[in-house]
A = this chain, B = another copy of it.
Amino acid sequence: MAKVDIQKKVLSANDEIALKNREILNSKKVFTLNMLSSPGSGKTSVLEKTLDHFQGKKEIHVLVGDVQTDNDARRLQKYTSKAEQIITGGSCHLEAKAIGAYLERENLDSADILVIENVGNLVCPSSFDLGEHKRAVVLSVAEGDDKPKKYPAMFRNADVVILNKMDLLSMTNFNVEEAEKNIYDINPGLKIFRTSCTNGEGFTPWYDWLEACMMK
């Protein structure tokens, strides 16, 4: 009988490339964040504020995935020359291969952070490791406090949730305590930030968290 090493994890093709991506990012000490959410939760707005905050202080590169249009990269290029769009042309998520190709062509030697803004989709992207160090899920209060229960994989695999559009809270029936309970039930170790890109509330703890994650 052949000896089988059950400890050896069988990696999918995507996971193998993700592992290589992570090795490259580690060697360059570039903290890499995968940002995920539904369409329209405010990922790009959160990034605009974040790039603005760190402008001149930290070098942030952004890779933006979308099914169509380079709208988001163009929005972010107001704050940085290091924002690039990947148009997936129909695909509902980013895969490690596209990030690997980016790492080959992009000079990240002086980069502090790489943010990968994933395709707006609360299901499929959660299954694809890109080689990131952490995952942030953005959830808008306009979406409803039951979403963590309905899309558990997304929240189970996250390190951070940004509860965004807090300025709309009083106009909705979103219950923040209920939402946070639903999130912690799935992932007790997760960190939650409450933010509004409209009035700017709640961003300081988020910036502090990013600073603490940086590797150089």
Contact = CB atoms under 8 A, between A and B. Distances in A.
Given A92-B121, A122-B121, A68 B150 contact: yes
Contact of A142 (B67, B140, B153): B140
Contacts of A140: 40, 142
Contact of A149 (B71, B121, B168): B71
Nearest to A198: B171
Contacts of A38: 38-40, 120, 122, 143
Interface in A59-97: 66-69, 71, 90, 92
Contacts of A210: none
| Chain A residues touching B, majority SS | loop
A172 to B, nearest CB: 8
A71 B146 contact: yes
Interface residues of A, number: 34
Contacts of A168: 142, 168, 171-172
Given A69-B149, A168-B142, A123 B92 contact: yes
Contact of A167 (B41, B119, B150, B171): B171
B90 A150 contact: no
A68 B142 contact: no
12 contacts: A38-B39, A38-B143, A40-B140, A67-B123, A67-B151, A67-B153, A71-B150, A90-B123, A92-B123, A120-B151, A167-B171, A168-B172
